Structure 1
Amino acid sequence: MTASTDSRPYPHAATPEQHRERRIRSFHPRRGRLTSAQGSALERLWPRYGTPIDGTPLDLAELFGGALPVVLEIGFGMGETTAAMAAADPGTGILAVDVHTPGHGNLLARVEQDSLENVRPAAGDAVLLLRDMLAPGSLAGLRVYFPDPWPKSKHHKRRLIQPEFVALAVSRLAPGATVHCATDWEPYAEQMLEVLSASPELVNLHPEGDGTVLEDGSVPGYAPRPAWRPVTKFERQGLAKGHRVHDLLFRRR
């Protein structure tokens, strides 16, 4: 397994840069209780494969031990979907960001178990990572699967997919890079579609939609569910509640 050259400890506390930030965030840091396997993986493997989000610019070729195209995944939960996609596509690097400590431990355990050479977990705020640590045009894709929908109206400002975030993320995407979002929360899907469609640098890969027809006869531009995206835990929970899952696929011009 190729290791990164990063040997910094796991960032259990926010960095000074994060403390000074006065932005509205789309997440709450979640430590949770570690299992012994997660704790062991975190202690043994984080110094070799983990990336704290501390403002230090990243050399993605160095981080992944080669010139792999790198996709940024924001919010990987327990890492099961990330690991499955990494195993199915070893030629793509996945920089996987979350703030859930047990999830980092679980993903690292899967990296070791499945000998995954193309995954690097990162801990902290994805906005700081994009803004301060990644070079323009350095990413081959962006994945945001089932982010917190913040369903209450007063919390909509906390949703990740907003015009400002999309503009920042697009600036870090290479031409031809893919943006893939998925959610089971209908109002958030509508917001995602509106925000992504409004970006002048993005093209909807499925403007004809997935077969959904609204009451007014219009066809929203959601994508058919890609077979290569594994079903996530949050997706199963949403389906169990009778929610409809929407995928959105856009390409950077």
Structure 2
Amino acid sequence: MSDVSQTAGQDTPRLRTIKSFVMRAGRVTEGQQRGLEQGWPRFGLEPTDGLCDFDQIFGRQAPRTFEIGFGMGHSTLEMAANAPHEDFIGVEVHKPGVGALLSGMLVQELTNLRIYSCDALDVLRECVPDATLDRVLLFFPDPWHKSRHHKRRIVQPAFAELVRLKLKSGGVLHMATDWLPYAEHMLEVMNAAPGYRNLAEDGCYVPRPPERPITKFERRGERLGHGVWDLKFQRD
């Protein structure tokens, strides 16, 4: 079965329905629940709303970042707080992470962030207009270690093309992983993807960019001698 199909009358590629994530049942804490109840009506977006006018949603024109799978939201919160002149759109399927990020937004009184709680690929296809994003972030996605699961990896040729359509000319796809075989897979896919330029001087990986926060998980990995590989590809 092909990785890509086309919607009638549209050029947006459709990825296979195989999911790159597993829905996990997680306990929502009181603080996270409070974030969901108080923050979602203000900052939550629904895929059923369809194609979005983000200038209207944020009430301004600003550089715009789209993050796929923000986990518990610590890095997203830090990036949004450090760049109040920029707008951020985060997508995460797990409710505890969504609640945690909303709770942090309320505490820090941030207004430059909006959240979807669904499949990020559906949001890109159905809700994000073409050529409107300055950055797309994919930090530490599930590497699906076993060979028979590699088809579940989110970074595939169809994913690269979908992201390319949503990036502005000169926009950047920034990926990071702590699993070298997956970094090599990302590099192979993106080097073959049309319409991109690798921003690494050696044609491989870039040094950790200062705008990407270091997570507690990453610091622990560094103490254990684990590596992290960052990749940046710019839309030509």
Q: Same fold (TM over 0.5)?
A: yes
Shift of residue 236 of structure 1? 3.4
Structure 2 spans left out of the alignment, 5+ residues: 1-14
Structure 1 residue corresponding to 2:193, chosen from 196, 199, 221 = 199
Asked if residue 135 in structure 1 is aligned to residue 132 in structure 2, the reply is: no
Residue equivalent to 2:3: none
CA distance in 2, matches of 1:134, 1:93: 14
Tell me by how many angstroms 1:251 deviates: 1.0
Contact in 2 for aligned 1:179/1:249 (Cα 8 Å): yes
2:48 match: secondary structure: coil
Contact 2:47 2:126 in 1 (8 A): no
- Letter aligned with residue 112 of structure 1: L
1:230 to 197, 213, 220: 213
Q: Secondary structure in 2 aligned to 1:90?
A: coil
Number of aligned pairs?
A: 222
Distance 1:139 1:160, change over 3 A: same
1:84 matched to 2:78: yes
The match for 2:12 is none
* In the alignment, structure 1 residue 243 sits paired with structure 2 residue 192: no
Q: Per the alignment, do residues 30 and 233 of structure 1 end up closer, same or farther by CA in structure 2, a change over 3 Å counting?
A: farther
| 1:153-202 deviation per Cα after TM superposition (whole angstroms, max 9, x unaligned) | 11111111111111011111100111110000000000111111112211
Aligned partner of 2:91 in structure 1 is 97
Whether 1:71 and 2:76 are equivalent positions in the alignment is: no
Q: Distance in 1 between matches of 2:49 and 2:126?
A: 5
Q: Paired residue for 2:175?
A: 181
TM-score w.r.t. structure 2 length?
A: 0.89
Which residue of 1 is the match for residue 46 of structure 2? 52
Deviation of 1:138 (Å): 1.2
Q: 1:22 to 1:225 in 2, by over 3 A?
A: closer
**Deviation at residue 96 of structure 1 after TM alignment:** 0.4
**Structure 1 consecutive aligned stretches of length 4 or more whose deviation exceeds 6 Å:** none
Instruction: List alignment gaps of at least 5 residues for structure 1.
Output: 1-20, 209-219
Which secondary structure does the structure 2 equivalent of 1:235 belong to?
A: helix
* 3-state SS of paired residue (1:26): coil
Could you tell me which amino acid in structure 1 is paired with residue 165 of structure 2?
Answer: S
Name the aligned partner's letter for residue 115 of structure 1: E
TM-score in terms of structure 1 length: 0.83
2 CA distance for matches of 1:182 and 1:22? 23
Give CA deviations for 1:8-46 in whole Å, capped at 9, x if unaligned.
Answer: xxxxxxxxxxxxx97101012234111111101101110
- Name the structure 1 match of 2:116: 122
Q: Trace 1:144-159 onto structure 2 (pairs within 5 A).
A: 144-159=138-153
TM-fit CA distance, 1:230: 0.8
Task: Report if the CA contact (8 A) 2:176-2:230 is conserved.
Answer: yes
CA distance in 1, matches of 2:132, 2:217: 29
Counterpart CA distance in 2 for 1:90 and 1:26 is 31
- Could you tell me how far 1:69 is from its partner in structure 2? 2.0
CA distance in structure 2 between the aligned counterparts of 1:108 and 1:54, rounded to whole angstroms: 20
Deviation, structure 1 residue 81: 0.4
Find the aligned partners of 1:151 and 1:50 in 2 and give their Cα distance: 33
Q: 1:239 to 1:224 in 2, by over 3 A?
A: same
Query: In the superposition, relative to structure 1, how do residues 103 and 157 fare at CA in structure 2: closer, same or farther (>3 Å)?
Result: same
Find out whether 1:161 has 2:144 as its counterpart: no
Cα distance between partner residues in 1 of 2:122 and 2:212: 26
Instruction: Name the structure 1 match of 2:204.
Output: 221
Deviation at 1:66, TM superposition (A): 1.4
CA RMSD of aligned residues (A): 1.6
